[in-house]
Amino acid sequence: MKIFVLFFFAALATSRALAQTNDFSASNQADPPMAAFAHSEKIRADCIQGRRLICGKIIKVLPDGLVIESGYTNLLRPPLTESWLIPGTVSAARAHNLIESREPASVCVGTIFLTDLPKARGQKPKPFDYVNLVAYPAGQITYTSVGTVQKTVRRFTGTLGAAVRLNFAAEEKPPSTTAYLQMPATAGGALPKLLSQTGAFLDAADLVPETNLLPYDLIVSFWSDGAEKTRWVSLPENQKIKFAPTGEWAFPKGTVFVKHFEIVTNEAQPQLKRRLETRLLVCDNSGGVYGVTYKWRTDNSDADLLETNLTEDISVKTATGVRTQSWYYPSRADCLTCHTANAGFVLGVKTRQLNHDFKYPDGVSENELSAWNHRGLFDANFSDADIKNFPKLAKLDDTSLSLEDRARSYLDANCANCHRPQGTVANFDARYETPLAQQGLVRGRVLIDQRIDGARVIAPNDVWRSILFMRANTTEAFKMPPLARNTIDERGMKLLREWIGSLPGPHVLPPPEILPRGGNFSKSVEVVLKSEPDATIRYTLDGTVPTTDDLLYEKPIRLTGPTIVRAKAFKPGCTKSITAQEIFLVGE
């Protein structure tokens, strides 16, 4: 059984009862701070070396912590009635030889401690559960015997600067909760009107998740207009995830995924954020899913259920002023546009996305697959050693990995939900696990060429003929993905541009620059065409595609009426440019 080691640091400032005793005050006055610290560290090291253990039971669960009783109360005297151990949580483990009984009146040893609630890892403590203190709090410790228990901690004095680690003595088990939380089993049921009524949060206003919600993160996140996302999952009690090393997982009915969105509203102060929405995706009782969106109120007191989609303009302060960003809140029908049966209904939560270390809110980092496996969330049996051989996406900024690996990971996260066999009408498969040679990406034929000659899904060394890049690098009507995206992912586009440019192929001329840009002009206008050195530019003024037989650009072109200017660059040994176009409405 795996034992998670979590460290708690005892806080002098909060040990007020200790500070009031003569013994404690005298100890502090006698020892200089560094000497006291060194002394306490020695005691701590001795305790760890001797593997001394205190067994205790939870006697009370408070909103802010657990009261742990270790010993007979008539043996406790001030300052031992309360000692604060902060910050942190407790984790699951069992030490059977330390547990005499699980009955409320059973004997346990030690003193009383008040610890943090174990919010981060999903355990739900109950009265009369047992905990172990592994290594005593540092300080002078005296013992007395109680019955057959030979080492009962009666009192300790001195500084409390050393680390203490605690472990639940209950058997390790996955975070579990009621199926569906407080959501209906079908989309047609009565939906909670407020986020606070869904059962997902203990305190919605402070965004404190329900104790058994397990936080998680993905290696590569779907682009959501720059919003920051926080994720949790609630798995029904005694249910398992159908695990697959590749492909999609299957989740039991009643599983609920919670995703929270916030956006930075001041680029100079990224800590200033606005809550936008929290979405819930519910695995319903028919084997499908339904999704709902809760829009946050401006005072962050709660979030309201949206009945349909909504677009809202968000003001964001920049270095040069204020920009307006449109945010799209999806409807329930929108959710099902992406969360399809062909994509496995649940997006993102799969082996290749969770095969990485995640820093849990308690500060402990652990591989998510390993963490979920040790909690018994899967129906499969694999070891930590197996995880190294499982597929894993590449982070966009991990330059230790190849451009190809990172670009294909980006496409997997942002395109593969639809672009896969039996998916949307297209000729390529964006799934990372499909070998590149079989994906139909590089030199792959397109169904809609956007009137680009020689267009391909990805044209080697040619971003202008790469239709995938063109549609991802725009916010026009033909953008991809088509739903809930109003901005361009500049970081993602930079990665795709670099990858396409790294693919072997002849030098490609960029499309000529037409200046000024097209538009309305009240009088005649001179148009200048530019390209790279030694390239020739051919142009037309009648809307046709330029060829080597058309007009050669040699000097500015004067336009006196409505004109469609089209231009193309040519150069020996290079691939000709695509056609550049601008429309001029002159004198109208």
pLDDT digits (tens, 9 = 90+) for 123-149: 455 554 444 443 333 333 333 333 333
Q: Does pLDDT of 579 surpass 90?
A: yes
According to the model, what pLDDT value does residue 234 have?
Answer: 96
How far apart CA 142 and CA 124 sit, in angstroms, is 33
According to the model, what pLDDT value does residue 126 have?
Answer: 54
Question: Would you say the C-alpha torsion 239, 342, 396, 208 has a positive or negative sign?
Answer: negative
According to the model, what pLDDT value does residue 57 have?
Answer: 52
Does residue 326 sit in helix, strand or coil? strand
**Mean pLDDT on 275-287:** 98
Binning pLDDT at 50, 70 and 90, where does residue 381 land? confident
| b/e burial code for range 94-106 (CB count within 10 A of at least 16 → b) | beeebbeeeeeee
How far apart CA 575 and CA 453 sit, in angstroms, is 11
**Mean pLDDT on 142-162:** 33
Using a pLDDT cut of 90, give the percent of the chain over it.
65
| Contact yes or no for 392/352 (Cβ under 8 A) | yes
Cβ contacts of 298 within 8 Å, gap of 6 or more: none
The label of the residue with tokens 């302060």 reads 317
According to the model, what pLDDT value does residue 62 have?
Answer: 53
According to the model, what pLDDT value does residue 245 have?
Answer: 97
According to the model, what pLDDT value does residue 151 have?
Answer: 36
Among the residue ranges 131-145, 191-205, 410-424, the one predicted with the least confidence is: 131-145
**Mean pLDDT on 394-406:** 97
**Mean pLDDT on 546-568:** 97
According to the model, what pLDDT value does residue 37 have?
Answer: 42
For the chain, give the mean pLDDT: 77
How far apart CA 466 and CA 15 sit, in angstroms, is 65
Q: Does pLDDT of 473 surpass 60?
A: yes
According to the model, what pLDDT value does residue 16 have?
Answer: 26
Q: Which pLDDT tens digit goes with each residue over 76-95? A: 333 333 322 222 222 333 23
Q: Does pLDDT of 108 surpass 80?
A: no
Question: Would you say the C-alpha torsion 513, 514, 518, 522 has a positive or negative sign?
Answer: positive
Instruction: Please give the radius of gyration of the chain, using alpha carbons only, rounded to the nearest integer.
Output: 32
How far apart CA 7 and CA 163 sit, in angstroms, is 6
Q: Does pLDDT of 113 surpass 50?
A: no
**Greatest mean pLDDT among 66-70, 128-132, 201-205:** 201-205
According to the model, what pLDDT value does residue 537 have?
Answer: 98
| Contact yes or no for 300/273 (Cβ under 8 A) | no
Binning pLDDT at 50, 70 and 90, where does residue 176 land? very low
First CA to last CA distance, the chain: 80
What are the boundaries of each domain within the chain? Answer: 8-168, 195-381, 403-502, 513-586
**The listed CATH number (2.60.40, 1.10.260, 1.10.760, 1.10.1760) that belongs to domain 513-586:** 2.60.40
According to the model, what pLDDT value does residue 5 have?
Answer: 25
Distances (CA, A) of 145 to 84, 151, 152, 359, 447: 25, 6, 6, 42, 83
- What pTM was computed for the model? 0.72
Q: How wide is the angle at C-alpha 117 spanned by C-alphas 114 and 120, nearest 5°?
A: 145
How far apart CA 355 and CA 370 sit, in angstroms, is 8
Cβ contacts of 558 within 8 Å, gap of 6 or more: 524, 525, 526, 527
Q: What are 258-262's contacts with CB under 8 Å, separation 24+?
A: 258/200, 258/209, 258/213, 258/231, 258/232, 258/233, 258/234, 259/229, 259/230, 259/231, 260/207, 260/229, 260/230, 260/231, 261/224, 261/227, 261/228, 261/229, 262/227, 262/228, 262/230
According to the model, what pLDDT value does residue 18 have?
Answer: 25
According to the model, what pLDDT value does residue 446 have?
Answer: 95
**Mean pLDDT on 366-382:** 93
According to the model, what pLDDT value does residue 305 have?
Answer: 98
